[in-house]
């Protein structure tokens, strides 16, 4: 999914596919369809969290995107929402002292009864920590403390920063929106992630900006404008960002997105990867080739790798149907 050397699968045979970044074999199921089968053991996805930060711009809804460093081994060069892996320390934050909601409430809000409350709480903390580290935005009611945290951030671990400044994070500011799981045979990386996407209104008294370390550029864009730039090859996007932006483009305001997040549990999206008509194809819930029959998202139910990027089979306009 990242901007890297990509195999041309337009006329792929078994030999070329063995040169893919992960070892696969092909199981022919129909004359034009091949399932990807990994030759490596099952890889447990790494737990991760990301925050889709939103604001109401002069012409409508805008979303904050950062460009991953080109040398990053995960989505290098692509524009993404701020986020990253769950750290063990995220599950060790004292909720009573540093969070505005208790672990029981956060566990219920995330909608994953099979995980421990401490794990659910840690995912919220990871989302807020990563947003702070990658954009400088700290979700706390105390704007002055947020600015103090920004000044001290480079020298202190996040948990220590919370304790030293007596900060209380606003978990209520971020709402669960979706859960994206990298397929066992991912298209461009052998790493897998189980990422919870949260949506949030960016605090009006703070300025979001990239960190010049993990991210080298940042921008506020209307969701449709970001997709327009992707289509014109001005920016790179991964499939989760493509379909998330298409979903956001259906909303006129931050309030509309947040209300939508409140109204339904976050869908679980585990793409099904296959080769169809010689092209790497990612199928999503609701697609005839996906084991889950119920749609998780509006728009196309699959993306096809062609022209060195992922595209909906029916063209750009189908993202907004």
pLDDT in tens for each of the 321 residues of the chain? Answer: 333 333 232 322 222 222 222 222 333 333 455 555 545 567 889 999 999 999 999 999 999 999 976 545 555 578 999 999 999 999 999 999 999 999 999 999 999 999 999 999 999 999 999 999 999 999 998 878 888 888 876 678 999 999 999 999 999 999 999 999 998 764 445 688 999 999 999 999 999 888 767 767 889 999 999 999 999 999 999 999 999 999 999 999 999 999 999 999 999 999 999 989 888 899 999 999 999 999 999 999 999 999 889 999 999 999 998
How many domains does one find in the chain? 1
Please check whether residue 120 lies inside any domain of the structure. Answer: yes
Distances (CA, A) of 272 to 34, 92, 239, 301: 12, 34, 12, 11
Is 111 inside any structural domain? yes
Give me the CATH number covering residue 250.
3.90.79.10
Residue 26 lies in a domain: no
306 DSSP 8-state letter:
E
Give the residue numbers spanning the domain of 52: 46-320
Whether residue 36 is contained in a domain is answered as no
User: Is residue 12, in this structure, part of any structural domain at all?
Assistant: no
Summarize the chain as % helix, strand, coil (round to 5): 30, 25, 40
| 11 within a domain of the structure (yes/no) | no
Tell whether 106 is covered by a domain: yes
**Contact criterion met (CB below 8 Å) for 175 and 124:** no
Query: What predicted TM-score, i.e. pTM, was given to this entire model?
Result: 0.85
């Amino acid at each position: 999914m990242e901007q890297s050397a990509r195999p041309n699968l337009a006329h792929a045979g078994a030999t070329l596919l063995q040169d893919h970044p992960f070892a696969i074999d092909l199981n022919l199921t129909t004359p034009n369809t091949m399932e990807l089968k990994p030759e490596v053991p099952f890889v447990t996805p790494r737990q991760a969290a990301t925050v889709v930060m939103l604001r109401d711009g002069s012409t409508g809804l805008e979303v904050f995107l950062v460009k991953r460093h080109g040398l990053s081994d995960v989505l290098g060069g692509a524009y993404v929402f701020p986020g990253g892996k769950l750290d063990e320390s995220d599950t060790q934050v004292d909720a009573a002292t540093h969070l505005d909601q208790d672990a029981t409430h956060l566990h219920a809000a995330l909608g994953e009864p099979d995980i421990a409350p401490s794990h659910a709480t840690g995912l919220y903390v990871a989302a807020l920590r990563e947003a702070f580290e990658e954009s400088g935005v700290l979700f706390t009611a105390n704007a002055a403390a947020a600015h103090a945290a920004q000044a001290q951030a480079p020298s202190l671990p996040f948990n220590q920063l919370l304790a030293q400044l007596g900060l209380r994070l606003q978990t209520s500011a971020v709402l669960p929106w979706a859960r994206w799981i990298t397929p066992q045979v991912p298209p461009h990386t052998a790493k897998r992630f189980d990422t919870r996407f949260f949506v949030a209104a960016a605090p009006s008294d703070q300025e979001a900006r990239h960190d010049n370390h993990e991210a080298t550029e940042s921008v506020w864009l209307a969701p449709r404008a970001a997709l327009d730039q992707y289509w014109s090859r001005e920016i790179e996007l991964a499939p989760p960002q493509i379909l998330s932006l298409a979903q956001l483009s259906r909303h006129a305001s931050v309030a509309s997105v947040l209300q939508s997040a409140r109204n339904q549990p976050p869908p679980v999206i585990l793409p099904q990867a296959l080769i169809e008509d010689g092209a790497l194809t990612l199928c999503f819930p609701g697609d005839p080739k996906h084991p889950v029959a119920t749609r998780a998202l509006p728009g196309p139910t699959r993306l096809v790798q062609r022209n060195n990027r992922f595209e909906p089979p029916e063209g750009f306009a189908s993202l907004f149907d």
